[in-house]
Amino acid sequence: MEPPRGRLRWLLLLWAAGSGLLVVLYSALEPHPSPGAQARNTTLSRGSIRLNTLNFGTRKGHACPRPLRQAIQQHRHFRGLFNLSAPVLLWGGLLGPELWDSLSRHKAPYGWQNLSRQAITSTLNLLNSSESAELFAAPGDLPRPCIRCAVVGNGGILNGSRQGRNIDAHTFVFRLNGAVVEGFEHDVGAKTSFYGFTVNTMKNSLYTYWRLGFTSVPQGQDLRYIFIPSDIRDYLMLRSAILGVPVPEGPDKADRPDAYFGPHASARKFKLLHPAFISYVTKRFLKSKLINTNFGDLYMPSTGALMLLTALHTCDQVSAYGFITSDYWKYSDHYFDREKQPLVFYINHDLPLEATLWRDLHKAGILWLYQR
Residue 35, φ and ψ in degrees, nearest 5: -60, -35
Looking at the domain that runs over 68-87+143-369, which CATH code has it been given? 3.90.1480.20
Is-contact 272 264, C-beta < 8 A?
A: no
| Position with higher pLDDT, 366 vs 18 | 366
* pLDDT band (50, 70, 90) for residue 286: very high
- Tens-digit pLDDT profile for residues 113-144: 999 999 999 999 999 998 999 999 755 545 56
Domain boundaries, the chain: 68-87+143-369
| Residues found in the chain | 372
Q: What is the mean pLDDT of residues 47-73?
A: 59
- Which pLDDT score, from 0 to 100, does residue 294 have? 84
What pLDDT is stored for residue 204 in this prediction? 96
- Is the confidence at residue 297, as pLDDT, over 50? yes
Q: What is the mean pLDDT of the chain?
A: 85
Q: Do 183 and 159 form a contact (C-beta atoms < 8 A)?
A: no
Residue (of 367, 316, 319) closest to 143 by Cα position? 316
CA–CA distance, 119 with 29 (Å, rounded to integer): 36
**Does residue 299 contact residue 130 with C-beta atoms inside 8 Å?**
no
Cα–Cα distances in Å, from 29 out to 73, 113, 259? 40, 26, 43
Q: What is the mean pLDDT of residues 303-324?
A: 97
92 pLDDT higher than 80? yes
